[in-house]
Structure 1
Amino acid sequence: MNLPFWVRRAHKWIGLVIGVQALLWMLSGLYMTAISIDVIHGDHLAHVADAPLDGGSERLDVEQLAQIRPGFESLKLKKFLGQEVYELRAGGMTSLVDARTGALLSPLPREQIVARAKDIYQGEAEIREVTWITQAPQEVGKRPVPMWAVRFDDSANSTLYFSPDTGDLLARRHELWRWFDFLWMLHIMDYDARSDVNNTLLRVASGVGVLFALSGAWLVFYSFRRRAQA
């Protein structure tokens, strides 16, 4: 049996099969290491921080609030667009109410979402489009719908996604993130959910890559040993 011949042939064909994917692994890995993860996350697009509460402001206490909005399980006092509000949670649902009157504010209308987006956006571009989303696009994954999508007319095609119940920023998306997501899909070879790093296709490709490396190492060792014997 001519072992070197078959190892060379196997190495060649394995290289043809796995070579393109190996190149994709390297290119996607280069992109992921070249660009800061903070940039990918879009931290520069929108800054979200809780505004300080007014110490002397009039607001409902918990007992008064429970009379107006009975049945809530937890609450949080915060500011939304300069107004003190209570964020109430009950039965898996979250809503905002006016901290002074208990009036229900959720779901938040388009105008307040636009004001919220302008308040936290860090760029200079104008808003290009505001969309009510009932089916989550790929780039926001499994985040709960419905939601508001606010798109800005900047070079990065920046989009901020907001909860209509609380006004919270759910996601920041821009072109660098979208490229990262695409390359991540190629890197882990999950072409559906883009999140499963233990999928069968990746395992097979990784195993084939190991065989390619081992056969190449064996050929190098064989070549040097043959020269030494000559």
Structure 2
Amino acid sequence: MTRWLQWFHRWLGLILGLQVLIWLITGLYFSVMGNQAMSGHTHFEPLPNESLAGLEWSSNIGDLSRRFDDIQQVEWQQVLQIPQLKVVTADNTYYLDGRSGKPWQTDRALATDIAKASYSGAGTIDEVVEVDARFQVLFDDPVSTEVLIGKADGAVQGHRNWNWYIADWMFRLHFMDYSGGRDFNNLLIRASGLVTLWFAIAGLILLLRNVKRGDLWRPQTLLHQLQHKQHPVASGCGGGGTCGLCKVKYTADIPAVSSADNQLLSPDEIADGIRLSCQQRKLPDSGLRDIELLDVNARAWQLEIESEQQITPTLKHIVFLRPPNFTFNPGQFLQFQIATRAGAVLRNYSLANRSDDNQLSVLVRRIENGIGSEFMHSLRAGDRVDVIGPLGDFQLRSENQRNGYSVFIGGGAGIAPIRSQVLSLLSSQDPAQVVLFYGARCEQELAFQAEFERLAKDHRLRYIPVLSESLSASGDFLTGWVHSEALKYIENVGVDKVDVYLCGPPAMLNQTLNGLRELGVPAERVRYDDFGI
């Protein structure tokens, strides 16, 4: 429940924060522009209110009480010296031409004359457009003035220009009324009020929990203490207790199990004294001596880029020179330190190469305005980057099924650690049959396609690419969802004969894990990397 509240509060806060920013921007716009500029009346000139005397009224108007039922009001008026009669009944309003007694009609020529009379600018008429029940008379002045003339009454319904259209969208954003009605009590804003109430309630619950736990005055978590002392501990959520990466092992004074430990750690890990360091504040009596870091080979490195290549429209493959004495297990990742104006930020990228290669490599997906993505995609050969690693426990099982199947399921950029594991397993003496399911949106998004096809032709790998967009498929590709094809395969060969490794987008990961549970694949035979999400 707490994890859900944290997730809910974090994302809802972001959405509400964006709306507050919109209110600030639109409110500032209203203050700077002023009502006159936003009204569109830059060149508005009221029609002359001339006397009705001297106008020729037709005798055909007759007895109005016979023509209209339940008359409420009658007004005698003029439009550019043309007599007009306005008759208001209980149900409608009628306009009559005072010269003939017939219903009023505004033609294109009259609409043009009315528009000219209400316009004080220097522009000339560019076009007259008939739209539904009115004419739009367009002037070719710098602000693109439009004069709206009603057909039924010849009235000037308004002036519009670029300032008016910009202001109209500002009002839509400010009132959250995208129908253009400028209704501050619309359904969306009322729903937003209820959502904001839930945001406040969730924040209050989290605050009370923190007060109860003493988080407002207690010392930093073990995660922050370790990072402050430059001990390499991975984290994907900044200590929020949602990613499950910051594992440490207590050898003495083992603390109680937190709710986050129960949700993110296996029973074997908990029994072995493993805890999430972000959930612990009290150190053992012996200090850090009785706490073991699980990533024993992790430390700070500076890597030099050997080459970089855009291998799909969205994925870049970056290759680094491998430092001496750098060792890692297939499936582990590096934590890149990225300098920003607000300070250093950390981004995790899985190693994509075989464990005994002379180089190191990662895959980076292009994400517009993403801090890590933009930085990594800007790197060129010869550049140097600071990293910490290797980190992570998404590794090959030492007790892989003998004469069984090692099934790998990758999606998108999640193919990086999968590739490392597949290549390393194929180069080992493990007799398991290696099967790789790789899901992508289209054929162009399949990374390392030629390499996997070559390994498949050598009968060292069974390679099954699956494309989610059927229209993009050409050749021998399955279409659909990669997890569906993989689950059918696992069910066919037998759930007791497989070790499963998977990495990919959260939706694919969740559906695959749910399917494996339904099939009855033992949890200890399933390993996955969810990027700490």
* TM-score normalised to structure 2 length: 0.33
Q: Give the match for residue 62 of structure 2.
A: 67
Contact 2:61 2:100 in 1 (8 A): no
Kindly indicate whether the alpha-carbon contact (under 8 Å) linking 2:41 and 2:160 is maintained by their aligned counterparts in 1: no
CA deviations 1:5-52 (Å, max 9, x no partner) are 999887644432322222112111211222222332233332224422
- Compare the two structures and name the one with the higher helix fraction: 1
Q: CA, structure 1 residues 29+211, in 2 after alignment: closer, same or farther (shift >3 Å)? A: farther
- Larger strand fraction of residues: 2
Q: Where do residues 6-25 of structure 1 align in structure 2 (5 Å cutoff)? A: 12-25=10-23
Secondary structure at 1:129 match in 2: strand
Secondary structure (helix, strand or coil) at the match of 1:35 reads helix
CA distance in 2, matches of 1:194, 1:54: 36
Q: Output the amino acid matched with 1:76.
A: E
Instruction: Show the counterpart of 1:199.
Output: 186
Residue 199 to residue 130, structure 1, CA distance change in 2 (3 Å): same
Quick check: 1:147 aligned with 2:134?
yes
Give a deviation string over 1:80-135, Cα, whole Å, max 9, x none. 22x2403232662533424xx4364731211111111111101111111111112x
- Identify if the C-alpha distance between structure 1 residues 115 and 200 changes in structure 2 by more than 3 Å, giving closer, same or farther: closer
- 1:80 and 2:71 aligned: no
Verify the 8 A CA contact 2:38 2:164 in the aligned structure 1: yes
- Residue 62 of structure 2 aligns to a residue whose secondary structure is helix
How far apart are the structure 2 equivalents of 1:152 and 1:130?
9
Q: Distance in 2 between matches of 1:12 and 1:93?
A: 54
Q: For residues 21 and 150 of structure 2, what CA distance do their matches in structure 1 show?
A: 40
Contact map agreement 2:168 2:180 (CA 8 A) in 1: no
Secondary structure of the residue aligned to 2:15 is helix
Unaligned runs of 5+ in 1: 135-145
Point out where structure 2 has 5 or more consecutive residues left out of the alignment. Answer: 219-533
Counterparts in 2 of 1:132 and 1:84: CA distance versus 1, 3 Å? closer
Match of 1:143 in 2: none
1:131 aligned residue: 129
Distance in 2, matches of 1:186 and 1:47, equals 30
Q: Distance in 2 between matches of 1:129 and 1:35?
A: 28
Equivalent residue, structure 2, for 1:109: 107
> Which structure has the higher relative contact order (CA within 8 Å, separation 6+)?
1
Cα contact 2:55–2:82 (8 A) shared by 1:
no
Aligned length in residues: 207
Partner of 1:179: 166
In structure 2, the CA distance between the partners of 1:9 and 1:129, relative to structure 1 (3 Å rule), is: same
What does residue 97 of structure 1 align with?
97
2:77·2:86 contact (CA, 8 Å) conserved in 1?
Answer: no
Computing the radius of gyration from Cα coordinates, the structure with the larger value is 2
1:197-218, CA deviations, whole angstroms, 9 ceiling, x for partnerless residues? 23343234345556767959x7
C-alpha contact (below 8 Å) 1:159/1:173 kept by paired residues: yes
Q: TM-score, normalised by structure 1?
A: 0.69
CA contact (8 A) 1:108 1:165 kept: yes
